[in-house]
């Protein structure tokens, strides 16, 4: 029986995509990062990076970003927003980054322009369990350390774009919450996205003005504090208000 060699698609060594995937665990806004291991000057190193890839010669930018997301999470129907190109000549000034990438791609790497995308994802058990084989984990934004390449800058600018986006499309934030949520969870999410504390009383007044945030006849169970009421997001009502 003849062996059939499966050829890898040819990559473009000068253009890549990087994806800033954000989730909310009820307390912290988190970003999905990949653990990276390598060796430089005979010393092993371990750090983290954003999910990303050089694009293939036969694929569009959006297709490359969707491929990265699919391979990592198994998710297909997810909104990915392209927000900026990063093309500084210093992106690949660190020899450690260049050597790691050349070993990973088995090709010479010089200057690389990356096109960055962001997406808001629910953190659920299925998604978390699928990440182990990719050496990936959700890291709270305040705990993100020095990342490969210019990925810290990319995350910072992604958050700025998310803030602008949800200012005009607040429904996007509800993609991060469970089907039913408390006012405290919603307030904490706003605080984490905007990076500032919000007065509890004023926020409850704000919720009353959101006719698409519907109170349920359900309360928390088995909690030590006063049980909080649950709410749900009504997309139909939200869309009506947008017209």
Q: Say yes or no to pLDDT of 30 above 90.
A: yes
Q: Say yes or no to pLDDT of 21 above 90.
A: yes
Q: Say yes or no to pLDDT of 5 above 70.
A: no
CATH number of the structural domain 177-242: 1.10.10.10
Exposed e or buried b for every residue in 93-128, given b needs 16+ CB within 10 A? Answer: eeebbbebbeeeeeeebeebebbbbbbbbebeeebe
Residues 6+ apart with CB under 8 A from 5: none
Q: Strand 229-233 relative to strand 213-219: parallel, antiparallel, unpaired?
A: antiparallel
What are the start-end ranges of the E strands in the chain? 11-24, 29-40, 43-49, 52-56, 81-86, 113-120, 136-140, 180-182, 213-219, 229-233
- Annotation: CATH topology of 11-171: Nucleoside Triphosphate Pyrophosphohydrolase (3.90.79)
Confidence of residue 198 (pLDDT cuts 50, 70, 90): very high
Q: Is the pTM of this model over 0.85?
A: yes
Phi, psi of 7 (to 5 degrees): -85, 135
Confidence of residue 240 (pLDDT cuts 50, 70, 90): confident
Mean of the pLDDT values across residues 81-91?
A: 90
Instruction: Return residue ranges of the chain for CATH 1.10.10.10.
Output: 177-242
DSSP summary character for residue 169: -
CA distance 193 to 196: 8
Alpha-carbon Rg for the chain, nearest whole angstrom, is 21
Mean of the pLDDT values across residues 158-181?
A: 94
Mean of the pLDDT values across residues 76-100?
A: 84
Instruction: Return residue ranges of the chain for CATH 3.90.79.10.
Output: 11-171
Mean of the pLDDT values across residues 131-143?
A: 89
């Amino acid at each position: 029986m003849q062996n059939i060699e499966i050829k890898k698609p040819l990559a473009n060594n000068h253009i890549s995509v990087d994806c800033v995937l954000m989730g909310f665990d009820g307390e912290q806004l988190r970003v999905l990062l990949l653990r990276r291991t390598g060796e430089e000057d005979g010393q092993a190193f371990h750090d983290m990076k954003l999910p990303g890839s050089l694009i293939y010669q036969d694929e569009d930018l959006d297709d490359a970003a969707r491929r990265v997301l699919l391979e990592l999470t198994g998710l297909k129907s997810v909104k990915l927003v392209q927000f900026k190109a990063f093309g500084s000549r210093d992106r690949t000034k660190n020899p450690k980054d260049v050597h790691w990438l050349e070993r990973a791609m088995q090709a010479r790497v010089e200057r690389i322009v990356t096109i960055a995308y962001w997406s808001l994802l629910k953190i659920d058990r299925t998604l978390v369990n699928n990440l182990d084989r990719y050496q990936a984990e959700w890291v709270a934004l305040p705990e993100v350390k020095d990342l490969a390449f210019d990925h810290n800058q990319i995350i910072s600018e992604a958050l700025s774009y998310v803030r602008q986006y949800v200012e005009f499309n607040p429904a996007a934030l509800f993609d991060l919450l469970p089907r039913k949520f408390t006012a405290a969870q919603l307030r904490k999410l706003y605080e984490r996205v905007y990076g500032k504390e919000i007065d509890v009383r004023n926020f409850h007044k704000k919720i009353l003005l959101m006719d698409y945030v519907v109170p349920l006849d359900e309360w928390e169970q088995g909690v030590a504090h006063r049980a909080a009421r649950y709410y749900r997001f009504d997309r139909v009502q939200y869309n009506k208000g947008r017209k």
